[in-house]
Amino acid sequence: MVEMTEVAEILRNADERSLVLLDEVGRGTSTFDGLAVAWATIRHLHDVTGCRAVLATHYHQLTQLVEGLSSARQAHLAVQERPEGIVFLHHLVPGSTDRSYGVHVARLAGLPKDVLDEADRLLRQLEMEGVELPGHSRGTTTRVGKYTQAVLLSAEAPAPPSPIVEELRGLEIDHLTPMQALAKLAELRRKALESHPAERGP
């Protein structure tokens, strides 16, 4: 709430002469909520305020969304991967990245070895099963293996027609803006959770 209040204050008072620095807008919310808030904030600063702004995010999806903004530029911090680990080079380079180094950062921070080993094991398992986690996007895959939150189709028996699947099939995604697509995705997720309340996440 404190962070959202600060963002609201910035959006109300910033003008074209402002320099806005924002770190992880939308953190502390669900993936869809945080992504939507971050995207809407970026659009407002770009289209309405017209100021200079620097934003850091772990939402890899935002790198695709901002490609359509004429004044937006993407950059990431260079990392050198070595057999013994990674080295952060503290050098800003143009373009986005599809890699995340959360476990490596946890190691540098001194987390216990058993915690790091478990995190490594779980991350490898999730990546093998195609699970896409916030900050670990590796493309547009939507397969989530046994960690599915709302099962829409079953491979064991023919599934009855799902209104959500039918709605997805009928979507003309080429005619949706990024914000419309996010809104529709959030709506379909809400419907899925309502129709499968026992599978609602924490």
pLDDT, tens digit, 9 for 90 and up, residues 85-125 = 788 888 888 888 877 778 888 888 899 999 999 998 888 88
pLDDT in tens, the chain (202 residues): 788 889 999 999 999 999 999 988 877 676 788 888 888 999 999 999 999 999 888 777 787 777 788 888 888 888 888 887 788 888 888 888 877 778 888 888 899 999 999 998 888 887 776 545 444 444 433 333 333 333 333 334 444 567 887 788 788 877 888 888 888 888 888 888 887 665 555 5
Q: Where are the beta strands (DSSP E) in the chain?
A: 19-23, 52-56, 75-82, 85-94
The residue ranges of every structural domain in the chain are 1-73, 75-131+141-157, 163-194
Whole-structure pTM value: 0.55
Helix H, strand E, coil C: the string for 105-150 is HHHHCCCCHHHHHHHHHHHHHHHHCCCCCCCCCCCCCCCCHHHCCC
What pLDDT digit, counting tens, does each position of 76-94 carry? 888 888 887 788 888 888 8
